[in-house]
Structure 1
Amino acid sequence: MSERGPAPAAAVPPTSTPRPPTSRNLAAALTVGAAVRLALQYAPAVTALRTTAQSSILTTTPLTRWSRIQEALYLYNRGLPLYDNALVHQPPILLPLLSVIPASMHPLLLTVIDTAVAAGLATLAHRQRELEPAAHAPVDADEEQKDPGAKIQGGGVAWTPAAVALAYLLNPLSILSCIAMDAGVIERGAMMAAAVFASGGDSIWASGAITVAFQMGFYPVALAPILALIQRRATHLSAFGVIPAVIISILMWNIIFYTFYTNVMDLDGMAVFKATTGFVLSVPDLQPNLGIFWYLLTEVFDHFRGFFVMVFQLHPFVYLAPIIMRFGRETPIFCLTVYTGVLATLKAYPTVGDYALWLGLLPLYASTWKYFRYPFITANVAVYCAFLFPIMHALWTRFASGNANFFYALTLVLVLGATVLQADCLHAMHVRMHHAHAYAVDKVHAAEAEEREFDEPVVEGRATAVEDRAERMRYRGGKGVKKTEDEEGKGEVKKVPARRVEVHKLPTLIVYLEE
């Protein structure tokens, strides 16, 4: 018997802990982004731009307009009822904090929160390789030879954590949202804080942050199971234990907040719920925005309004279970990325800031961009909408030469482009994971073939159908019969036990919540 060769390589190379991001580059990126925002917030030369942005229906909604928060602060500071009107829809938890900060410093506060969102994106980019090795499994020999801690390559750019943060900070949509004093910045900051805490395995603070986001806009509560799966990847706990724990924590945080509202702030808890969460659920304010609710609910008969509101509100939650079932076990941060886009598209009161957060998460998976099918279409839709939205809105409201159909038609184009991009993200990740799985299987087969060369004599002239079928069955994991010749030249039939591929060590295509 010949000597055994070297041991075959593992199906999936172990992923080492990624190197920490360069703090100097990240600090420079955050400084640049904050400086741009502060210059636009306080520079006298751009006062007209600030005024236009703060009154635009693209950047603010009745739920996030800063003038309504100022109204709430006025009532709160004078001890007047907060929710006996149809103007205030923000949670009371913000008011004690904002009341002690001078009004001139409120733009600085939003700038700090938006910069913190970018820092959270950089943190996720740093932790992602360790939490989601399946998303970065090699698809060919070239990728396998790269350092596991190497930068994410995509679009001709090396996406370091600092580059991810800078891409968000220099995104015109995020800048426009910040200078418009969009209160949705606070909601997005809470969402990002929840994701960062979950990626660090801290369920208590992750639940508290997502509770703040829930009270700001209701829809972030759907991220609870995704955050639980992210925490599961960080702590290696059972999903059936983590998910209920996160849900219970969110309920407890809500109880704490409403106890504070009723006992400390002396507010009616039911009035707070109706004015905040109830406002989002019932959609009473039909001012135009980037969503699809306002136009359809304006046209529908009042008799059917409740049914349509129910359908529209349930629509975003329909996609949660399929996304988690397919990608939740191995790539929960990818689920967060995709579902953030779903919420930005289908929520009742979206703004450009919601799209900015979604686009800020996409560079985390730049390695999948090469598998996109319709990048040209989505890029053109983005450019067309950026130019045509202000024009259509001006034709409708300023020059009275158009109507609501002009603006809403462009809204449908935006939703279509966002849907195509979401489908591309799902398709690209599916294809990449499939290629990585196929490459891992090929490596196992090659290792088995190399091992057989050392363990078994080489037999010439094997061309019969029986031998071919036996060899095929061998690769499939079935029992095969191989005809060999002994050293004296006498033919004999010998059963060779087949070696099964250990598929549990490979990136699986069937995703479960548990091992």
Structure 2
Amino acid sequence: MDYDVAFPGLIVTRLLLAFAPLPDSLIHDHQLSTPLTSYPRLLEGLYLFRHGVDPYSGGLFRHSPLLLSLFSTALPLNRFTAALIWTASDAAAAWALVHTWRARQQVKGKTSRDSLIAAVYLLNPYILLPSLALSTSSFENTALLLSVMFAVQAQTSLSLLLLAIGTHLALTSWLYLPPLALLCLTTPVSYLASPRPLPFSSNEITRKLGTLATEYSAYLLALAGAATIVAGGVGWLDKTWGAVFTLPDLSPNVGLWWYFFTEMFDHFRPFFLMVFSIHLAVYPIPLVVKFQHDLLYAVYILTGILATFKPYPSIADAGLFVSMSVLFPETYQYLRTPFPTFLIHLHSSLLLPLFHHLWLGSGTGNANFFYASTLVWGIGMGLGVGDAVWAGLLTGIKGRFKNDADEQEWEITQE
């Protein structure tokens, strides 16, 4: 279907779903939102903020002060405006994904894959359900995809600004800085099938990355200053960014942290919090080194890793990973376990709401029921990420062999 027809149609469909009479339980579902992205907690913080009470004085509100400022002034929240805002956010994310694909293909106009890419994002259940639950993870995904789009278009300042905004919404977004900064300096065209090193010396890379990191830090500090003015102090730092390191709220989610630290003895807790946090910071540089010939692919792999191992994940993080996979059709033939990965995701997607209801709904189960389903979910995510890494590497190996064979054939012909 033509993109000019399909994209507005998808947005209208998404908007109709937003206005549909959906169960109120969606906004309280632990799989669709987390303590850092919950809509009821956002409403509570806005209520306190409007009545002159510091929303960060308690232990529930953990959203960025930027959202407080936005939704208490320019965009007041109610059932009608919320549907419009979240739909617009998803539409912007899908639009960014389409334009990222076009930049990767070095095409300025429409392509035959545009409608598919938009549909994969807007109709992806992992994206759609958290958005219908009004989880602010939708804004985090949009900020990241817009940052990626501007990076592949070599609009460095806009890319770093959007990444800084995304970091204020979700601190773990700073891990995207190395691949995104280098992506701003290179081409988004796929070189998976013909790997080549970065066109810079190590000294140039260090200097350029230092310049971009400084600009990113300036945006981050400016936004932090604005957030401090809005919040009336720096108390928001501990409640928002600090929550990523200290894990104060052990509400269940689809991640691997909450149950582990529920069972953790207090005197071991600081050590394992440090280990888990450092574990996340290990990935960006090795990914940049290994996929320096295709930094967009490094960003894609990193989304899957964070969706699996970040402190407070929801299925929206997995939805971003799945949606970005449409940008790399050249890797599909090298996937080893796509069908088992799909079945594990299907299995866990059925187990998660079932065991969640048995535990917190009917009271006939316990936390082990739900945690078992999150382990299955984690296995599915790990299998998907590992398969994507393998496919990316094998694409390069096969491409190199093919290029070597072509070169030998050309040399023989010349002789």
TM-score (norm 1): 0.74
Deviations for 1:26-73, whole angstroms, at most 9, x for unmatched residues?
A: 343332332222222222xx332xx12111111011110011111222
**Residue 321 of structure 1: CA displacement?**
2.2
Distance in 1 separating the partners of 2:206 and 2:272: 34
| Residue identity matched to 2:386 | A
Matches within 5 A, 1:183-194: 183-194=136-147
Distance in 1 separating the partners of 2:372 and 2:294: 35
**Residue 317 of structure 1: CA displacement?**
2.1
Distance in 1 separating the partners of 2:379 and 2:22: 34
Please say if 1:441 is aligned against 2:415. no
**Residue 126 of structure 1: CA displacement?**
0.8
**Matched residue of 1:83: which SS?**
helix
Please say if 1:170 is aligned against 2:123. yes
Deviations for 1:229-248, whole angstroms, at most 9, x for unmatched residues?
A: 21111497753333222211
Please provide the CA RMSD for this pair.
2.0
The one of 46, 50, 70 aligned to 1:73: 46
Matches within 5 A, 1:257-276: 257-262=223-228, 264-265=229-230, 267-269=232-234, 271-276=235-240
Distance in 2 separating the partners of 1:186 and 1:214: 11
Match of 1:107 in 2: 83
Which structure has greater helix proportion?
Answer: 2
Distance in 1 separating the partners of 2:253 and 2:169: 17
CA contact (8 A) 2:137 2:316 kept: yes
Name whichever of 25-34 and 97-106 sits farther off.
25-34
Matches within 5 A, 1:235-246: 238-246=204-212
Match of 1:297 in 2: 261
**Matched residue of 1:47: which SS?**
coil
Name whichever of 85-94 and 75-84 sits farther off.
75-84
**Residue 267 of structure 1: CA displacement?**
1.6
**Matched residue of 2:186: which SS?**
helix
**Residue 160 of structure 1: CA displacement?**
1.0
**Matched residue of 1:59: which SS?**
coil
Distance in 2 separating the partners of 1:429 and 1:205: 28
Match of 2:387 in 1: 424
The one of 149, 174, 181 aligned to 1:221: 174
Residues 230/188 of structure 1: CA separation in 2 closer, same or farther (3 Å cut): same
Residues 420/399 of structure 1: CA separation in 2 closer, same or farther (3 Å cut): same
| Residue identity matched to 2:58 | N
The size of the alignment, in residue pairs, is: 398
**Matched residue of 1:330: which SS?**
coil
Distance in 1 separating the partners of 2:132 and 2:69: 23
Distance in 2 separating the partners of 1:204 and 1:91: 22
| Residue identity matched to 2:223 | F
CA contact (8 A) 2:178 2:284 kept: no
- Unaligned stretches of 5+ residues in structure 2: 189-198
Match of 2:192 in 1: none
CA contact (8 A) 1:291 1:345 kept: yes
Matches within 5 A, 1:2-401: 25-43=2-20, 46-48=21-23, 51-99=24-72, 100-102=74-76, 103=78, 104-130=80-106, 160-234=113-187, 238-262=204-228, 264-265=229-230, 267-269=232-234, 271-327=235-291, 329-401=292-364
CA contact (8 A) 1:316 1:343 kept: yes
Match of 2:191 in 1: none
CA contact (8 A) 1:91 1:216 kept: yes
**Residue 150 of structure 1: CA displacement?**
11
Matches within 5 A, 1:503-514: none
- Unaligned stretches of 5+ residues in structure 1: 1-23, 132-148, 152-158, 453-515
Deviations for 1:259-278, whole angstroms, at most 9, x for unmatched residues?
A: 2234x436212x12111101
**Residue 84 of structure 1: CA displacement?**
1.1
Distance in 2 separating the partners of 1:355 and 1:396: 23
Q: Equivalent pairs: percent with the same residue? A: 28
**Matched residue of 1:292: which SS?**
coil
Deviations for 1:452-510, whole angstroms, at most 9, x for unmatched residues?
A: 2xxxxxxxxxxxxxxxxxxxxxxxxxxxxxxxxxxxxxxxxxxxxxxxxxxxxxxxxxx
Distance in 1 separating the partners of 2:208 and 2:123: 36
Distance in 2 separating the partners of 1:419 and 1:391: 22
TM-score (norm 2): 0.91
